[in-house]
Amino acid sequence: MSSRFWKAGKRRTVSAALAGACLVGTVGVAVWLAPDEAAEPPARARQYAVTQACLLTDQQGVAAAEAAVVWGAMQDSSAATAAKVSSLPVIGDQSVGNAVPYANTLVARKCDVVLAVGSTQVAAVTQIAPANPAVRFLVVGDTEASGNVTVIAPGAQTRAKVSEALAAAFGGRK
């Protein structure tokens, strides 16, 4: 009778030892496979401020010469203030009637500053500006400034003037 208890005790001891070895092995593997927090690369997503500037262009987008200059100034401003910048090309007929819905789209996107490059886009923006007094409009072209519309004459200083105007609009916010 005592031999039967001795065998049962031995089985329990062996079972407990195997369970312990499995537990130690599982914890060891988990620690070995766990990611090292110090080795994680920094987040690649850029943190933007709540301000946003949007550029209305012709169908060439920011590839057009004049738009590329303004886009460069917008990117400079974004780097300095963390403002989000985007562009929207007018697709199809390059008429004011076709460009107005695109300009209104930028207003609907809650752009704080809407920039326009090109005569059609400038005309569309100046047409919708009076109905949107909370939005600042910045146009590069030959037109009249009014209320919430700032005009920058195209030329050699366009990039610097756009950067200055955006810095004033964003007030250096981050």
Task: State pLDDT tens for residues 149-170.
Answer: 999 999 989 999 999 999 888 8
The string of DSSP letters for 82-107 reads: --EEEEEEPPS--SHHHHHHHHHHHH
The string of DSSP letters for the chain reads: -HHHHHHHHHHHHHHHHHHHHHHHHHHHHHHHHSPPGGGSPPP-SPPP-S-EEEEEE-TTGGGSHHHHHHHHHHHHHHHHH--EEEEEEPPS--SHHHHHHHHHHHHHTT-SEEEEESHHHHHHHHHHGGG-TTSEEEEESS---BTTEEEE--STTHHHHHHHHHHHHHTT--
Give pTM, 2 decimals.
0.72
Question: 67-85 b/e with 16+ CB inside 10 Å = b?
Answer: bbbbbebbebbbeebbbbb
Min mean pLDDT across 9-23, 64-78, 132-146, 159-173 is at 9-23
Mean pLDDT, rounded, of the chain: 85
Task: State pLDDT tens for residues 72-126.
Answer: 999 998 888 888 999 999 999 999 999 999 999 999 999 999 999 999 999 999 9
